[in-house]
Amino acid sequence: MRIAITGSTGLIGTALARSLRADGHDVVRLVRRAPGAADEVRWDPKRQEVDTAGLAGCEAVVHLAGAGVGDHRWTSAYKQEIRDSRVLGTRTLAAALAAMDTPPRVFVSGSAIGYYGDTGDRRTDESAPAGHGFLPEVCVAWEDAAKPAREAGIRTVFARTGLVVARSGGAWGRLFPLFRLGLGGRFGDGSQYWSFISLTDHIAALRHLIDTADLTGPVNLTAPEPVTNREATAVMGHVLNRPTLCTVPAPVLRAALGEFAGDVLGSQRVVPRRLLDSGFVFRHPRIIDAIRAA
């Protein structure tokens, strides 16, 4: 297939492009600058421009672009950047695909389990409503922005992603160096649930969404059994053979991270019901498997 990807230089996009190309697929990368290679196509979300001629023949588009949620302190300006980078980008791309003479058959649009807000210890699947707060509001607007693609009859899937366990990149990539130095430990009291997924399983799941013709709407990309922060901390220490005596008290997190600390300390016990029901098989279903793989 010919498959287009936004956010192709990020952790997920890079791994997805590599996986697709290894199996002989033709990957097109959407970039915000002048194209510098044969596999690049220009788009500009802020100006609502997409070079759809470069997307001709694409059977699938995977949309992963967006400002990093944890990259900066949540000032009013950066919160707006988080929202705009997702909503404007999705709306621009969805409208452009809908207007094509021969649109792709599937649009896999990024989303996040932040949609559900703090779920406590309640097992939460795709049937749950949106939560309350900044991230749930962003996720609702993010998914709503894909409406032009849905209305044009393009099969649209929302990949609600959890914490991706990877050696470098993403939230987990920041933890590994600390744990290797023996500076790892739990956040707050460690009772909050973390819904994780290995990088390998995340890429396989995205490809499953592309290939499974009866999947539409939200699909949680998380491993089957979320763990608490305390459990994840213990497994990290075990796998890396390092002590995990350090803790980051909740007041310190709030002082360092501001509003974002509420989401770091929040609990999300999210399960991939639709992914499992559609026949997907995890290679790393347990947290120890995911951390060892990374």
Straight-line distance from the first to the last Cα atom of the chain, in angstroms, rounded to the nearest whole number: 29
pLDDT digits (tens, 9 = 90+) for 21-79: 999 999 999 999 999 899 999 999 989 999 999 999 999 999 999 988 877 888 999 99
The answer to whether residues 171 and 163 touch, using CB atoms and an 8 Å cutoff, is yes
pTM: 0.95
Give dist(CA 253, CA 265) in Å, integer.
8
pLDDT of the residue at 85: 92
Average pLDDT over residues 213-234: 97
Average pLDDT over residues 262-285: 93
Average pLDDT over residues 185-210: 96
Encoding tokens for residue 44?
Answer: 């500009």
Give dist(CA 248, CA 127) in Å, integer.
34
CATH superfamily ID and name for 2-167+197-222+269-283: NAD(P)-binding Rossmann-like Domain (3.40.50.720)
Q: Nearest Cα to 14, choosing from 2, 25, 6, 24?
A: 6
Q: Mean pLDDT score of the chain, rounded to an integer?
A: 94
Average pLDDT over residues 111-124: 96
pLDDT of the residue at 256: 63
Encoding tokens for residue 216?
Answer: 């539409």
The structural domains of the chain, with segments of one domain joined by +, span 2-167+197-222+269-283
